[in-house]
């Protein structure tokens, strides 16, 4: 495998067509001026040693030398050792929606409590992995930096409630961006953002954030929690939350939004209901990052190859210097093809 250590110098190759254009203009201009002085037959008589081919050959050699020297500056390197590297575990950032709508009880015991159980069971399956936690509603923040301390992660889960964030709403895009800035710089690690929400995105920007994560090599999985019929939101006083018209608020899972975000993020959409299917699907998806698709064939050692190009350039320089622009006096009288 070939690569260039300083590939920015390759932009200098654009000088070659520029020089070709200048040279063509110069030759045409020269021929026009000579025609004004004498016709072609008279020119041959006045300049019997002139060669029409040699200047072209010297110019082509000069361009080739320039190209080779530019390649030398770019430091070509060839891979010499191919190895298979295995990713070492995964890093999973969980973005948990703690807006008021997550208190709905259409999924028992509530959407939020069900989400906590999902995260706990997911962590129980981790070994050489790391987990972090971002909570969000109308805004988002890192509740737990990415860590291997799974015991602490479970403890943080117990204290989560909508009261942690004063700004209500559901800013999924902001939560994904917060997760993106929370991963380590370690290489050969599978990375995933697991968004758990009812999909009521009030702020927008979620699809753009998911696409950004995908470009960064991070898979975005979305766990949409809630039933199609929706659920009422408890107000904490034995009743249910009401809107400005004194009507009870019904929170319904926005499944289409969840699917779009997962697709944009290169992950999978998983529906969370009152069964254990979501847990099994999530564990299966994460296992692909942990075990399957983790072997990468890479070149781990590279050797410098500029010497070859430099030597070739040197040989061409010597040839270009030895070639005269006029006919060689030794061979000028030799004609292989006679009329």
Q: Is 189 helix (H, G, I), strand (E, B) or coil?
A: coil
Instruction: Write down the residue that tokens 């025609």 correspond to.
Output: 35
Strands 231-232 and 250-251: antiparallel
> Which tens digits make up the pLDDT trace of 237-254?
889 999 888 999 899 999
> Which tens digits make up the pLDDT trace of 12-63?
999 999 999 999 998 888 878 777 766 666 655 555 566 777 888 889 999 9
CB atoms within 10 A of CB 336: 4
Tell me the pLDDT band of 336, cut-offs 50, 70 and 90. Answer: very low
**Domains, the chain, ranges and CATH?**
2-81+301-322 (no CATH), 88-293 (3.40.50.410)
Q: Is 219 helix (H, G, I), strand (E, B) or coil?
A: strand
**Sequence-ordered list of residues with C-beta below 8 angstroms from that of 108, at least 6 positions apart, any chain:** 114, 274
Does the pLDDT at position 177 exceed 50?
Answer: yes
Q: For the whole model, what pTM was predicted?
A: 0.61
Mean pLDDT value of segment 173-200: 91
Q: What is the dihedral of CA 272, 273, 279, 280, to 10 degrees?
A: -110
């Amino acid at each position: 495998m070939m690569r260039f250590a300083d590939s920015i110098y390759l932009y200098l190759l654009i000088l070659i067509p520029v020089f070709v254009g200048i040279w063509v203009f110069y030759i045409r201009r020269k021929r026009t001026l000579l025609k004004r002085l004498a016709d072609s037959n008279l020119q041959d008589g006045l300049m019997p040693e002139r060669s029409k081919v040699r200047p072209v050959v010297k110019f082509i050699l000069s361009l080739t030398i320039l190209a080779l020297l530019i390649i030398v500056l770019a430091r070509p390197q060839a891979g010499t050792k191919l190895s298979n590297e295995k990713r070492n575990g995964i890093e999973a950032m969980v973005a948990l929606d703690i807006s008021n709508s997550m208190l709905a009880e259409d999924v028992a015991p509530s959407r939020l409590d069900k989400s906590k159980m999902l995260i706990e069971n997911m962590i129980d399956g981790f070994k050489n992995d790391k987990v972090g936690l971002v909570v969000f509603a109308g805004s988002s923040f890192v509740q737990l930096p990415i860590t291997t301390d799974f015991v602490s992660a479970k403890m943080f889960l117990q204290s989560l409630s909508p009261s942690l964030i004063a700004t209500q709403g559901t800013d999924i895009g902001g939560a994904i961006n917060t997760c993106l800035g929370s991963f380590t710089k370690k290489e050969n690690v599978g990375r995933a953002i697991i968004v758990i929400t009812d999909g009521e995105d009030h702020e927008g920007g979620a699809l753009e954030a998911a696409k950004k994560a995908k470009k960064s090599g991070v898979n975005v999985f979305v766990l949409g929690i809630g039933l199609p019929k929706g659920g009422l939101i408890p107000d904490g006083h034995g009743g249910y939350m009401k809107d400005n018209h004194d009507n009870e608020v019904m929170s319904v899972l926005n499944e289409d939004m969840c699917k779009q975000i997962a697709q944009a993020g290169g992950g999978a959409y998983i529906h969370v209901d009152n069964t254990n299917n979501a847990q099994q699907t999530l564990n299966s998806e994460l296992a692909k990052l942990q075990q399957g698709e983790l072997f990468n064939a890479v070149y781990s050692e590279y050797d410098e190859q500029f010497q070859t190009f430099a030597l070739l350039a040197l040989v061409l320089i010597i040839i270009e210097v030895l070639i005269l622009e006029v006919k060689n006096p030794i061979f000028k009288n030799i004609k292989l093809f006679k009329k």
